Amino acid sequence: MADVLSRLGLGTSPLGNLYAEVTDREARAVVDAAWEAGIRIFDTAPHYGLGLAEKRLGAALKDRPRDEFVLSTKVGRLLVPDPSGADRLDDDGFAVPARWRRVWDFSADGVRRSLESSLERLGLDRVDVVYLHDPDDHWDEAFGEALPALAELREQGVIGAIGAGMNQWQMLARFVRESSVDTILLAGRYTLLEQPALDELLPLCAERGVDVLAAGLFNSGLLARHDVPDDATYDYRTAPADVVGRARRIAAVCARHGTTLPAAALWFPFGHPAVTGALIGARTEAELTANVAAFAAPPPPELWADLRAEGLLAAGVPTP
């Protein structure tokens, strides 16, 4: 229990007003509640609310002992001032004024500028981990320029570790195979619902000693409620009926074993030895508290056996 809690981290896209506005006070309450719960891993990015999440996270952590937490941010999207956007909202899912626009930039100079700007927004003197953020369409520049620049910063001691964060596993496997990344952030591709990263990526990470931080454990909402609604989201879209049905079948098995769908979803990734941490996101203190409470009692081993018996979990999938 304590070991798993020590590996739980807070993802901050909701604190950047993802889909809906969160007040400064509500955002601070989430970070404070995470800290009180024992969470010491915090992940953010310029992309989240056009820098708003970084500002809010930095403000909440600035008086915390710096050596007691691990902070990661990301590079790949430079924020460029756009005065013309002051009267309209961001068009990339965040409820913030579009006073800045994102510019893809995985050049060496872009990486350094992005990190410098992130440190300014965070109000901190360093970050511990820097991820390439969604380089799906930018392999050549990300691999040829951004990674060497990050490796140089790592060698200089400016940052502690480097990696890549993506919603797909295939390119992450290529980064692990062909570069010196220390860690990857894998979103949505190793969850209780689906495990496409299991056969190739995770064994490769275990072999190379690359840490895996699992994110998107609820598949963007589908597994977040035990009573799965008809309009649940999956991969940021309304979930197909068959996917909703599968989630409900998993929830029914969970109920038979005295646990819930969110609790099983949060515990699931820790069954794999390559997974060293997992991120949870929360819009409110209540959401954060509920997620942490899901770890109060791990699901019984019989749950995983029953999921296998009902064809909802493959025989070779490792479980906690």
| Whether the Cβ atoms of residue 120 and residue 152 lie closer than 8 Å to each other | no
In tens, the pLDDT along 170-192 reads 999 999 999 999 999 999 999 99
Residue ranges per domain, the chain? 1-166
131 is catalytic: no
Report pLDDT for 261: 96
Q: Quick one: average pLDDT of 206-225?
A: 96
CATH number of this structure's domain 1-166, picked from the four choices 2.60.120.260, 3.30.70.140, 3.20.20.100, 3.30.365.10: 3.20.20.100
CB 239 within 8 A of CB 225: no
Which residues face 121 on adjacent strands?
none
Supply the pTM of this predicted model: 0.95
Q: What is the pLDDT of residues 1-30, one digit of tens each?
A: 445 567 899 999 999 999 999 999 999 999
175 contacts 143 by C-beta, under 8 angstroms:
yes
- Rounded distance, CA 4 to CA 287, Å? 19
The closest of 74, 94, 99, 76 to 236, measured between CA atoms, is 94
Catalytic residue of the set 19, 48, 131, 236: 48
